[in-house]
């Protein structure tokens, strides 16, 4: 009974999550101000991506400021994690990380939707490439 309830709740959360991503991707990104006027990007993001075979995946991403760099932790619905460190280069965030013993590199362009950060770009791991859209969920403080 408890397992059935958990599966039910996970199913409901999954559908809400997917609808939120689809809705967020239809919003038109705004141009960001010059880098010196940019707002912080640290926080929680919804991840919607396409792997090298065009299959979709979803998850969450935590971006935390660490000095002048960023620590990034992805957790995908499949249970796959990727942890990395990145640096901001103007309106781009460049991250190098590890997932399952493989090196992955991300280049994500920072834009804004309704005044909140939105990141989109590509990644490479080995000889494979994919793409992701990261939609703002909330900041680090409750």
pLDDT of residue 13 exceeding 80, the answer is no
* 91 compared with 9, residue with greater pLDDT: 91
Report the DSSP beta bridge partners of residue 63.
43, 72
Angle at 78 between CA 59 and CA 85, to 5 degrees: 55
**pLDDT of the residue at 9:** 44
CA 60 to chain centre: 6
What secondary structure letter does DSSP report for 60? E
pLDDT of residue 20 exceeding 90, the answer is no
Which of these ranges, 2-11, 29-38, 95-104, has the smallest mean pLDDT? 2-11
CA 42 to chain centre: 11
Structure-token pair, residue 39: 């707002």
């Amino acid at each position: 009974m408890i397992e059935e309830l958990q599966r039910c709740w996970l199913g409901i959360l999954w559908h809400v999550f997917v609808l939120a991503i689809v809705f967020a991707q239809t919003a038109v990104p705004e141009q960001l101000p010059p880098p010196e006027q940019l707002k912080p990007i640290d926080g929680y993001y919804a991840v919607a991506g396409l792997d090298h075979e065009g299959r979709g995946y979803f998850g969450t991403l935590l971006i935390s400021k660490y000095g002048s760099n960023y620590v990034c932790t992805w957790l995908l619905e499949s249970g796959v994690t990727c942890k990395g460190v990145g640096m901001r280069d103007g309106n781009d965030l460049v991250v190098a990380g590890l997932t399952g013993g493989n090196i992955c590199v991300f280049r994500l362009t920072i834009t804004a939707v309704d005044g909140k950060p939105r990141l989109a770009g590509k990644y490479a791991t080995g000889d494979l490439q994919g793409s992701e859209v990261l939609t703002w969920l909330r900041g680090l403080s409750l």
